[in-house]
Amino acid sequence: MARDLLAQTSVDKTLDRIVAHAVKLVDGCQDSGVLVIEGGRRVRTLAANSDLVHTSDAVQEEVGEGPCFDAARYAHEVYRIEDVTREEERWARYVPRARELGIGSIMGFCLYTEDDNLGALNMYSPHPGAFTERSEHIGWLLASHAAVAFSSARSHAQLETAMASRHDIGAAMGILMERYSIPAQQAFTVLKESSQTQNVKLRDIARTVAETGEIPGAVDR
């Protein structure tokens, strides 16, 4: 499993494999997903193997609570509801809604490394009492490996984006230097001013110049 996760070639593929391994390896797990909390409240589902996961995530965002929501928000290692048919004081608003969705048991694991809180890995079963101590232990091991693989994939994707941006900016600067007979620093200033004036990211301005030879809003110098 660990080798498989690290072998994936993109963030999305890594997340999909994390979810697949959760269903395959954790006793009782029938549905799984990964969510993140943005802005302290907004839930975004990064991966899911069913509509149930998306719906549960949306409900937790709506009521502002839930085991998966809290695992991501508070960086708590694991939250577990053994039986959704019983009253639950910790998530009194979420649990009745989960019951209506046909959920019987839930576990939420924080995905974190030393440097990042990456969200939560969530597991669902339609059966009360489906998750045992062994399920929780295996889930925790999966979440630990998943966090490392997720962080690695994300860092790799960010590096690729940065390299592509650097290439586009360099190409755009070369075009401006040749066209206007200006030095590198001034060419970069032209790109930066266009970015600021038009409220467009620098890398997007540079890509336009690199692809078309024209800079939006440029003034001959």
Helix, strand, or coil (residue 125): strand
Counting residues of the chain whose pLDDT is more than 90, the rounded percentage is: 43
Domain spanning 158-212: which CATH class is it, in words? mainly alpha
Under the banding of pLDDT at 50, 70 and 90, the label for residue 117 is low
Is pLDDT larger for residue 169 or for residue 142? 142
Q: In angstroms, rounded to a whole number, what is the distance separating the alpha carbons of residues 212 and 195?
A: 16
Could you tell me how far CA 214 lies from the centroid of its own chain? 35
Give the pLDDT confidence of 128-137 residue by residue, as tens digits.
999 999 999 9
Q: Which CATH superfamily is domain 2-154 in?
A: GAF domain (3.30.450.40)
Counting residues of the chain whose pLDDT is more than 70, the rounded percentage is: 90
User: Could you give the residue range(s) of every CATH 1.10.10.10 domain in the chain?
Assistant: 158-212
pLDDT at 154 over 90: no
pLDDT at position 220 is: 47
pLDDT at 219 over 90: no
User: Could you give the residue range(s) of every CATH 3.30.450.40 domain in the chain?
Assistant: 2-154
Q: In angstroms, rounded to a whole number, what is the distance separating the alpha carbons of residues 3 and 72?
A: 25
pLDDT at position 221 is: 43
pLDDT at 207 over 60: yes
Supply the pTM of this predicted model.
0.70
217: nearest Cα among 201, 193, 182: 193
Under the banding of pLDDT at 50, 70 and 90, the label for residue 202 is confident
Structure tokens given for 92: 């009194």
Name, in order, each residue with C-beta under 8 angstroms of 211's C-beta and a sequence gap of 6 or more.
none
pLDDT at position 27 is: 93
pLDDT at 24 over 50: yes
On whether the CB atoms of residues 120 and 72 are closer than 8 A, the answer is yes
Amino acid at 64: G
Q: What is the mean pLDDT of residues 38-60?
A: 92
